[in-house]
Structure 1
Amino acid sequence: MAQDDPRTLVSTQWLAAHLKDPDLRVVDASWHMPAEARDAKAEYDAEHIPGARFFDIDEIADLRSALPHMVPPVEKFMSRMRAMGIGDGHQIVVYGASGAFSAARVWWLFRLMGHHDVAVLDGGFAKWKAEGRRIEDLPPVVRDRHMTVRRQNQMVKDVTQVAAASKLGDYEIIDARSGPRFRGDVEEPRAGLRAGHIPGSRNVPFNELLNDDATMKTPDALKAVFEAAGVDLSKPAITTCGSGVTACVLALAMERFGKSDYAIYDGSWTEWGAFPTLPIATGEA
């Protein structure tokens, strides 16, 4: 079991012990790939951890962008959090249906907005349920709470910045997609995207950072996965994936072993793969 850290990762045992703390807020950030045809909100309505609020990754986003679930404007994030009763002074625990898959994205969003007392629930809702812990189908009692936002611009990169990093090699670009997708051996799940990866990037599939029960590996084991993939950890990192979700699992893993100079490429392959003028590479890194 991973060591509990209220700023990165906490166990189901830790959450059960703190569930009634007055300043604890639990967030259900479940999200599924479109091909899975699952309704995360309907599943939340049917059962969730007591007191949990539902965080809609696709709605609490910049809907002006054609790209999916891009970082929301600061004002929108603040208003949605206030409506959810989440604000200054709260310890936040984010969980997803299983493991860190989508929960890490919301963990990173809170950190991007300057809120650091936020952790992912190790193993997610699946582990919580498997242990027979309490669940409910009741909506939470919400009281408005102001949230101060100090956006950390260095934690997110756009396509121009990533293209420069690819050319200059001054960042390690790390791709969280599966090996076959990274190499360009299979078609992308989103129609119209080219296959391959950003030139100069390394491949650390996010599921290699997890144990069989979807809990996260120890910090030393996490670091070893990055090193085995040829990542130069002395350089600042940019993480990427299909649409900016599992890239955040890599960010959480790096934070766990003490590396904090990372940023997320928010558009990820959904953006890069759609631009015919951007270079792509195939095969191994």
Structure 2
Amino acid sequence: MTGRARIAEAGTVSHSASRTLLAGAILLLLTAAGALAAPVRIVTAGELSAEISATGRTPVVLDARPSRDFRAGHVPGSLRVDWRDFSESRPGIASYLFGDPARWGLLAVDRASLLDRLRALGMSSSRPVVVVGDPSGWGEEGRVAWMLLYLGHPEVALLDGGFPAWAVENPGRIERDAAHAPSGDFEPEPQPDRRMRLERLRAAIAVGSVTLLDARTAEEFAGKRLRGQKRGGRIPGARLVPEASLRAADGLYVDGQTLAKLVGPLRPGVPLATYCTGGVRSALLAVLLEARLGIVAANYDGSLWEWGSRDDLPLETGP
């Protein structure tokens, strides 16, 4: 019996056999999407504390939470970063009223501007980066981590459980003053396989050569709720993997087995892509796929803000 057939019959076998099948499903995922030695990892609050305290290559810690949360308390030495500052057009009240949503999620193309902002954060290829978020957020930490991976940073990590996990583990190590980093020397080397562009996605859908994962809510997936895009619905053929399902009840990221079950079986040799509204929630999904399963998925940063702006591009609605 083939791996696919076994997975299809998983609901009729014993609990013990089900666990065996799930392990097989993970292996199928790795084979299908092309597992790589991932430059991204998940670190615990205890591990981050030890890395900060160690001599030598201390990590650059970036906090992707809203500014008010950062001011209320953050990991010592961390720097606040806002993913919107790295977009072609920064989403905000004014841009929602008068701007072009097609550009809100897209990563900025101005290399000089990107360099200045990244180096101001102390970014260097010789220092690992740990990105901090919050389970109550929208996966902003994933967007920052994905951006760094796409730009070629060799060592990126997410803090498991975000800042709340740090506060529980290290209640006496919380700062409120902003830190200042020495200028870094990071040189971007974009990795095209990590980023999906509109025309490439359109062509792949036309010939069935992509597996597409939607990281939004079921309500958005069905077209019942819009978040700034011009049209509602989903890109044809997409599979729903809500961003909210990527965390356990305690706020920690789900493990590899759980993630593999959420994603489902993949077709061998077919690339994997993720999207949402503006490439934020989908970026977290892409980063976790790599950290937990070794799968490099292409995040569509334009997502529905861009796709939905084009009347000539299809969208599906309904369950």
When normalised by structure 2's length, the TM-score is: 0.77
| Contact 2:61/2:129 (8 A) holds in 1 | yes
1:35 aligns with: none
Superposition pairs of residues 1-285 of structure 1, within 5 angstroms: 7-21=40-54, 22-23=56-57, 24-30=59-65, 40-63=66-89, 66=100, 67-73=103-109, 74-98=111-135, 101-133=139-171, 134-184=173-223, 186-190=224-228, 193-227=230-264, 231-232=266-267, 234-284=269-319
Instruction: Work out whether residues 98 and 127 of structure 1, in 8 Å CA contact, stay in contact via their aligned partners in 2.
Output: no
Describe the superposition over 1:209-230 as per-residue Cα deviations: whole angstroms up to 9, x where unpaired.
Answer: 2101221111122111111xx6
Tell me the distance in 2 between the aligned counterparts of 1:257 and 1:83: 30
User: What is the CA–CA distance in structure 1 between the aligned matches of 2:44 and 2:315, rounded to whole Å?
Assistant: 39
Instruction: Give aligned-pair identity as a percent.
Output: 29
C-alpha distance in 2, partners of 1:233/1:193? 35
Secondary structure of 1:198's match? Answer: coil
CA RMSD after TM alignment? 2.2
- Give the number of the structure whose alpha-carbon radius of gyration is greater: 2
Shift of 1:259: 4.0
For structure 2, which runs of at least 5 residues remain unmatched after alignment?
1-37, 91-98
What's the secondary structure of 1:8's corresponding residue? strand
Kept in 2: contact 1:60–1:69 (CA 8 A):
no
Cα distance between partner residues in 2 of 1:281 and 1:45: 42
Equivalents in 2 of 1:63, 1:194: separation in Å? 19
RCO comparison, higher one (Cα < 8 Å, 6+)? 2
SS in 2 for 1:250: helix
CA distance in 2, matches of 1:257, 1:51: 27
Q: Structure 1 stretch 231-240 or stretch 151-160: which is displaced more?
A: 231-240
Gaps of 5+ in 1: 31-39
Counterpart Cα distance in 1 of 2:250 and 2:260: 19
**1:116 counterpart letter in structure 2:** P
Deviations 1:84-127 (A, max 9, x none): 22212111100113378111111111110111211000110122
Cα 1:279–1:6 shift into 2, 3 Å: closer
SS in structure 1 of the partner of residue 83 of structure 2: coil
Conserved? CA contact 2:241–2:262, under 8 Å? yes
Distance 1:233-1:136 versus aligned 2 partners, 3 A rule: farther
- Other structure's SS at 1:174 match: strand
Does the Cα contact within 8 Å between 1:61 and 1:70 map onto a contact in 2? yes
Shift of 1:131: 3.5
Aligned residue for 1:170, secondary structure, equals coil
Paired residues of 1:166 and 1:198 also in contact (CA < 8 A) = no
Q: Kindly tell me: are residues 259 and 164 of structure 1, through their superposed partners in 2, closer, same or farther at Cα, counting changes over 3 Å?
A: farther
Contact persistence 1:219–1:257 (CA under 8 A): yes
Q: Which is helix-richer, 1 or 2?
A: 2
